Structure 1
């Protein structure tokens, strides 16, 4: 049986490979604990501070994931070259994903200074700045370099399939379980949902993970958008809904001023029709509700609690979203 490597063992292996490939010396490693499964370290080098990120064999087990990761990293590099505030990815022999002698996959990129903010705490200036850069990122992503000859990543199930999914939980939960209340909110919302709300969305390339853990600020200004891992052809307005819910919803209250500031910033860079915001919220809820309304989720992490609260709020208000935000 092969002994499992410790994070320090993995770092030393990645350090050796990085120093050889880029002819630099690394020191002062600091492990970063944000993210899911992938190990990350900030290190100092002659090229300035860098981020080394191990690609988890558990998370990226299939070859399809590696191909998607390659596309995402090359897009991140292209975005940085075209003025998007995001870390520049370092290439070696035109590779953006590197491999150690034992097969550990990893990437190396610039480390960008900035601060992660808590969900629902972004002020008007921060949201305006984020909206502007999101619009710019969407313009670059959809400038014709990335081909659109494919289906969007999110293929929504029918309303009947989604109702069957929700109702299946009744077989496994106790009638007095606190989860029943959340479940009934989702069932009621699903019954009043129309897939035409998603079919009218415009397809395009999108970040698909634009929330506070992947956004850095310096004061009132955005300093970087991080983690293009989920970049794919989908619905760009999902980025709009995800960023606004993450930045303007604090668990129980939606900050309309911050939400409007994001849209105002976005519209200075990229065209956005009136009413798209409400539609984007419908699409986000239909995509993510099954991820975060689940009796088996651990609520130990604030991120999970935030996402579950968002889906609950959207479910409760689904029938009113167009009246609330249709003019935006």
Structure 2
């Protein structure tokens, strides 16, 4: 989350007239994240998050809104979109598609415990299971075609060693046969800053605006590469096993998934290394923005390539 499009309190007051949420009391920009413009909105009727979408069209956003409503209806702790007086969820503010959603209690945590990793694993499994009820579909716009496009854009700014690693890994991933791996709705960005906790209790999964239909195991790999590692990028075995065991309780493994985990961990590391490199070298202007360190995921990718056996070692016994 970030602020790229500035809105004034008077604009938000006018926007909220279409909702039964009361009077505006406070408005604060959110500095975390990198994709959309976000504000905390407090009214006499509650606490909300206002999101202005910087890149996506109205037709794309209907997927995210359906997903969040379906997940909330099935009991997952996630922000429910607020319906406007005309029965729609999607409106416009400052010439941007805009939604108002519930603001959940809790806070993101920087150093997750074993119990918290287990809670995230269980929640991800539930998302994958409940996602079967979502009728719309959305391709992963940060998939292999985007990897190749981004790699080409980065050739002018990266050194030969980095480009060789990127090209080699894209070739490796392209050659993989993933047709038999289960697919469905994935969050695609379930990092530590997108889960809220109150103590050890998971209170919310947020920021579904990268969600899409793709390989479920890829989503597992994204989480493992963030939630279950130490500063050196290696796995914390206790956290990783707790995460995977809780996930499997919510959605049991299908044939071939555990064997494919090492490759999916590499794919997840590649995707976020590329996106961070792109954001670093081709930043967008914004009032409040936060660009994350690309070298973090380069280290993880190199480690996943060098130590494929670690993926098997963290599987629950």
Question: Is residue 90–residue 98 contact of structure 2 (8 Å, CA) maintained in 1?
Answer: yes
Asked whether 1:248 is paired with 2:228, we answer yes
Task: Find the residue that maps to 2:11 and give its secondary structure.
Answer: helix
Aligned positions of 1:128-143 closer than 5 A: 128-143=118-133
2:98 maps to which of 91, 99, 106: 106
Cα offset for 1:265?
A: 1.0
Q: Give the one of 264, 269, 274 matched to 2:245.
A: 264
Residue 125 of structure 1 and its aligned partner are, at CA, apart by 0.2
User: Match for residue 200 of structure 1?
Assistant: 180
Report deviation, 1:246: 0.9
> Unaligned regions of 5+ residues in structure 2, if any?
282-289
Distance 1:306 1:112, change over 3 A: farther
Q: Secondary structure at the match of 1:70?
A: helix
* Residue 113 of structure 2 is aligned to residue 123 of structure 1: yes
Structure 1 residues 170 and 298: CA distance shift in structure 2, 3 A: closer
Q: Which residue is 2:286 aligned to?
A: none
Shift of the 183–122 alpha-carbon distance from structure 1 to 2, 3 Å rule, reads: farther
Cα distance change of structure 1 residues 312 and 301 upon mapping to structure 2, 3 Å threshold: farther
Q: Could you tell me which residue of structure 1 aligns to residue 70 of structure 2?
A: 78
* Cα deviation digits, residues 33-54 of structure 1 (max 9, x gap): 1222522222222332111122
Q: What residue is the counterpart of 1:97 in the other structure? A: 90
Structure having the higher Rg: 1
Q: RMSD between aligned alpha carbons?
A: 3.5
Aligned residues: 302
Partner Cα distance (1:36, 1:88) in 2: 22
Distance 1:169 1:51 in 2: 34
Give the whole-Å Cα distance in 2 for the aligned partners of 1:6 and 1:236. 33
In structure 1, list runs of 5 or more residues that go unmatched: none
Question: CA 1:290–1:81 in 2, change beyond 3 Å: closer, same or farther?
Answer: closer
Shift of 1:195: 3.5
Measure how far apart 1:111 and its partner are.
0.7
Correspondent of 2:80 among 74, 88, 105: 88
SS in 2 for 1:24: coil
Q: Is 1:13 aligned to 2:3, yes or no?
A: no
- Distance apart, 1:241 and its partner CA: 1.0
Give 2:260's aligned residue: 279
Return the TM-score normalized by structure 1: 0.77
1:301-312, aligned counterparts within 5 Å?
Answer: 301-302=291-292, 304-312=294-302
